[in-house]
Amino acid sequence: MRKDGGGLIFLMISHPTAQKLQLPFLSDLFSQISNDYPVLKALVPDDIPYDTKSSFSLYINHRKTFTGITDNDRSLTMKKFAELTEQIHNKDSNIAIQELGKQFRSPGHIPICIASEKLLNERKGHTELVISLLQMAGLTPVGSGCEIMGEHGKALPKEDAQNYAKKNNLVFLEGNEIIKAWKQWSK
């Protein structure tokens, strides 16, 4: 992801997982403490061109990482978070939070993005697309992502992304294909 993607590497999680772990949205945290830190009032994300609210939550590192930024450290953090999500599926929220605290620290180098509660019926971002795809496949609702950047500093054009997928023997899906499948699956 780091070498070929170039964008931010992040985790995407389901809304129920975030609720179980009581993970806040960063924008909500910033709003709550903005009287103590006036700079946060100036930085309010109220002009996001593609959405009404940022889906970013906490940034984490697994406790067995060193700096947390190396490929191995980030991979460990993401893998262990997915495993934790599976382990706490049927656990009480308090136990889930304790387990999260045993295994992870914050701040860290892996940002968590929380999918909207109604997934693609509410928002059509990368987080919702991935979590919907995982849900349809019956898999743990934790994904990792990284936007592939082009040489010009913008997102890689679709044709180039298709060529990358073909060259690397990867499946190429467009968002509208996932949305169409979701509409059929979620009836």
Tell me how far apart the alpha carbons of residues 113 and 20 are, in angstroms, rounded to a whole number: 15
Question: Is residue 50's pLDDT more than 80?
Answer: no
**Lookup: tokens for 62:** 């697994």
- CATH number of 147's domain: 3.90.870.10
pLDDT tens sequence across 92-144: 999 999 999 999 999 999 999 999 999 988 888 899 999 999 999 999 999 99
Tell me which residue range forms the domain holding 74: 10-185
Number of domains in the chain: 1
Region of 8 (left: φ > 0; alpha: ψ -120 to 50; beta: rest) is: beta
Region of 22 (left: φ > 0; alpha: ψ -120 to 50; beta: rest) is: left
Q: Would residue 3 count as lying in a domain?
A: no
Question: Is residue 90's pLDDT more than 80?
Answer: yes
Q: Would residue 43 count as lying in a domain?
A: yes
Q: Would residue 1 count as lying in a domain?
A: no
Q: Would residue 95 count as lying in a domain?
A: yes
pLDDT value of position 153: 87
Q: Would residue 75 count as lying in a domain?
A: yes
pLDDT value of position 104: 98
Question: Is residue 169's pLDDT more than 70?
Answer: yes
pLDDT value of position 59: 97
Q: Would residue 2 count as lying in a domain?
A: no
Rounded to two decimals, what is the model's pTM? 0.92
Q: Would residue 4 count as lying in a domain?
A: no
**Picking from 32-41, 50-59, 151-160, which range would have the lowest pLDDT averaged per residue?**
50-59
Q: Would residue 5 count as lying in a domain?
A: no
